[in-house]
Structure 1
Amino acid sequence: MMAPRGRSTARSSLCRKEGWFRRANAPPRPRPDALSKRKLNGLGNEARFEYDEQRRNWHANIGPLATPQLLAAHESLWEIVDSNRQDTGHAKGAVAIDAFPGLGKTTIADSFGFDYHRTLLTRYGPRTEDDNDRIPVCRAGLISNTTPRMLNLMLCDFYGHPGLTGTEKTFADQALGYMLSCETQLVIVDDVHFLNMRTKDGLRIVNHFKSLANEFPVTFLFVGVDLRSRGLMTEGLTANSTYRAQTARRWTLLTVSPFEVSSRAGRTDWRRLLLGIEKNIVLSNSWPGMVAKDLSDYLFARSTGHIGSLMTLITRGCYRAMRTGEEKLTAELMDGVKNDAASEKGRIRLQSALDQGMLTTRPPSDIPMAGGHPKRTRRKAS
């Protein structure tokens, strides 16, 4: 029942190959045993601390759940990445996940990257024909003042490049060498919205991305917030210049929508999401329907349908339920849990609509209370 105390794999940077491999190859996190309140109270101090530590880590890392948004994005990503087989010298199409905060875009990108990583290692083995480590995926995260040289250095850092001096071209050549020798196929670049298209460095980075796409035999997967309005697709030109921008022709844009309950399908998806969460909650006083039925309206109002805000609320609620000894989630307990500012701002309008019967999260009667999300399907590289 008790897991040994240790550092979470979440603390390892995904922008280093060691951290990426540790997360991608990690076995499923063991689910803590569900104890009755009597057995919970019978634990000694040390055993109780270890059990609660295990539950805190578990609740903080529920998922990723196979939401319709994740499944649809993964299907498109497999299609794009696995069909990018152009010979060297031909630019490969890139893909960008563009969505507002809290909708799970980074989770979608990373979970696809983990699936892709495992699939290629299973199919081709951990070593290349030249006996180098096979590293199917590289990942980098941009910062506000990223320059082309810095981006190249970030790519080198992922592979463990020790040097800190060199020119933009030096690091680009080294990054290309690593990708070729390690047979990297996918490069994930997160936080692309940090690029300012009104600055010279921002424009240089976008042009640099195009150059890398021409030279590197990989598919780039970009992740960011509101990329279209930030000028990424028009390369800093006017909004009417989209058709003249190469980026708009080369980047396939994938979007992620929040959950909605104005339609039958939307309410069904919301119920299934809550069922998937509910079956992962380990509290001694929980019951079937605690989340998916009794808190359905409440959680939708407080999260505004954003999965990031919802999971934050669930994680903090479980922590409070354990700390207070209530060992269950109720609206009264959750009222004391703080959530992000955007959700709290949108809560009043949604709660009013739910209270007045203008909106409901109740699903069609044919959706059972038992069960949860369908299992995620993993596509295989052909």
Structure 2
Amino acid sequence: MLLSPGEPHHPLTSKEGWAEFVAEQIAAPVLVPPAQLQRMSEHECAAYEQSRLDYHAQLVIVSTPTIRHVATSGRKRILLNRSQRSARRGLIISGPAGTGKTTAITQLGKNYEQLARRRGELGPGALPVVYVTVPPAATPKMLAIELARFIGLPMPARFSQVEVTNRVCDLLGTLSTRLVLIDELHNLDIRTRIGAEASDQIKYLSERIPATFVLAGVDLEGTGLFTGRRGAQIASRYSLIPTAAFPHRTADDRRDWQALVATLEQALRLDAHQSGTLLKLSPYLHERTSGMIGSLSHLIREAALDAILNGTEKITRASLASVDIDQAAEGCRPVARRPPRGKKTA
């Protein structure tokens, strides 16, 4: 199914939004030769421009080492947990913001569901993957309600935590759910009473629901997730996959970064862009984004939108410099030191 980026979509934290995400195919527009472009009507030119704006607003998902590691590890955990009746093993993805955690776990879920459907492993009405985010100051009941909201299961306010949890667990068991993705786990701090109770709820859900649990959040090691008695239980059942910014110190580091930049550049659909321009600017792109994959994607996508809107149809260092990206990446950039007073610079 090819979804139009201009159409309103359901949130990813709902079964309708997740189904759209799994079925979504990003089709790259075909570039029109200049001679043909001049013969196109105003309406056709507008449609051509809009199709490329929509495309660059999304662009491609690059298969980074983190995405590949999570995909491989997640697939093995699902296979290992098939015959487990308790103490199922899961994954925890932790690292700074902008290092691809959400992309990694959602791609794991998407790839798993697509493969299961192609193989005919799912019956009608099956819901193999669930994706939810942890709300701020989450309580055990709030976590269960998030799962119920994803399913579309109405929950009267009078229902207790136990009633909501039981209904959710029973329904997910009948829907053949095999993968539960819980994002934004940093909103849960088990050093507090509410956070500790919510952590216990996740453990209880993983016991009741015959699925592999994959958790993701920002710098989870600092939330107390692995400390104390509760932390020891989590550490004994989950493997930690850390994420980080792309380094740029060794030749291998630079080669990996260049491969990432080249993949994004090859995906561009700009009429006047010279292939290899971004590849030559890879050191600048690393300095500008501090090696953050999320910041790099944002920078290139917005520069591509600017190139279409202002008619230049190409990305240059100057156009990249005009794009404002997230403060996390900008704040890591080295600041040029001012020369000592009284001394002149060449």
SS of structure 2 residue aligned to 1:76:
helix
Please tell me whether residue 224 in structure 1 is matched to residue 224 in structure 2. Answer: no
- The gaps in structure 2 that reach 5 residues or longer are 338-346
Q: Which is richer in helix?
A: 2
Of residues 185, 197, 206, the one that matches 1:204 is 197
Q: Deviation at 1:6?
A: 6.1
| Counterpart-to-counterpart distance in 2, 1:344 and 1:252 | 32
Choose from 57, 64, 67 the match for 2:61. 64
Please list, as runs of the form range in 1=range in 2, the aligned pairs for 1:148-167 lying within 5 A after superposition.
148-165=140-157, 166-167=159-160
Native 8 Å contact 2:6 2:54 kept in 1: no
Shift of 1:44: 3.2
Q: Does 1:187 align with 2:180?
A: yes
Q: What's the offset of the Cα at 1:118?
A: 1.2
Confirm or deny that 1:255 pairs with 2:242: yes
In structure 1, distance between residues paired with 2:55 and 2:95: 27
| Aligned partner letter, 1:91 | A
SS in 1 for 2:302: helix
- Aligned residue in 2 for 1:143: 135
Equivalent AA in structure 2 for residue 73 of structure 1: V
Determine helix, strand or coil for the equivalent of 2:239: strand
Secondary structure of 1:252's aligned partner: strand
Q: Is the 8 A contact 1:93 1:251 kept in 2?
A: yes
Work out which of the residue numbers 116, 120, 126 in structure 1 matches 2:116: 120
Quick one: distance in 2 between partners of 1:250 and 1:4? 38
Equivalent pairs counted in the alignment come to: 335
Moved more, 44-53 or 173-182: 44-53
Determine if the alignment matches structure 1 residue 271 to structure 2 residue 255.
no
What residue is the counterpart of 1:348 in the other structure? 334
Helix, strand or coil: the match of 1:224? strand
Determine which of 288, 298, 309 is the counterpart of 2:275.
Answer: 288
3-state secondary structure, aligned to 1:245:
helix
Question: Contact 2:288–2:333 at 8 Å: present in 1 too?
Answer: yes
Matches within 5 A, 1:56-95: 56-88=53-85, 90-95=86-91
Shift of residue 12, structure 1, vs aligned partner: 2.3
Q: CA RMSD in A?
A: 2.1
Counterpart CA distance in 1 for 2:195 and 2:41 is 57
CA–CA separation in structure 1 for the residues paired with 2:82 and 2:206? 13
Does 2:169 match 1:176?
Answer: yes
What's the counterpart of residue 368 of structure 1?
none
Stretch deviating more after TM superposition (266-275 or 155-164): 155-164
Equivalent in 12, 15, 18 of residue 14 of structure 1: 12
1:110 counterpart = 2:111: no
Cα distance in 1 for residues equivalent to 2:54 and 2:285:
22
SS at match of 2:291: coil
Deviations 1:91-129, CA, capped at 9 Å, x for gaps: 2112111011111110000001001111122223442xx
User: Is the 2:303–2:315 contact (alpha carbons within 8 Å) kept by the matching residues of 1?
Assistant: yes
Give the conservation status (yes or no) of the 8 Å contact 1:284–1:327: yes
Secondary structure at 1:209's aligned position in 2? helix
TM-score norm. by structure 1 comes to 0.82
- Counterparts of 1:174 and 1:276, CA distance in 2: 45
Alpha carbons 1:191, 1:225 under 8 Å: kept: yes
Listed one character per residue, the Cα deviations across residues 131-187 of structure 1 (whole Å, up to 9, x for unaligned) are: x51111011111112211111111112111123331111111111121111110010
| Residue identity in the other structure for 2:110 | F
Asked if 1:301 corresponds to 2:287, the answer is: yes
Structure 2 counterpart of 1:53: 50
Q: Deviations over 1:38-59 (max 9, x none)?
A: 5445543322222222112211
For the residue of structure 2 that corresponds to 1:286, the secondary structure is coil
**Displacement, 1:341?**
0.9
Q: Identity, % of aligned pairs? A: 28
Describe the shift of the 1:185–1:6 C-alpha distance in structure 2 as closer, same or farther (beyond 3 A): closer
SS in 1 for 2:131: strand
Q: How far is the alpha carbon of 1:65 from its aligned partner?
A: 0.9
TM-score, normalised via structure 2 length: 0.90
Q: Which whole-Å deviations, capped at 9, do the CAs of 1:265-304 have from their partners, x for residues lacking one?
A: 11111111111101110111112202112x2122111111
Tell me how far apart the structure 2 counterparts of residues 5 and 12 of structure 1 sit (CA, whole Å).
13
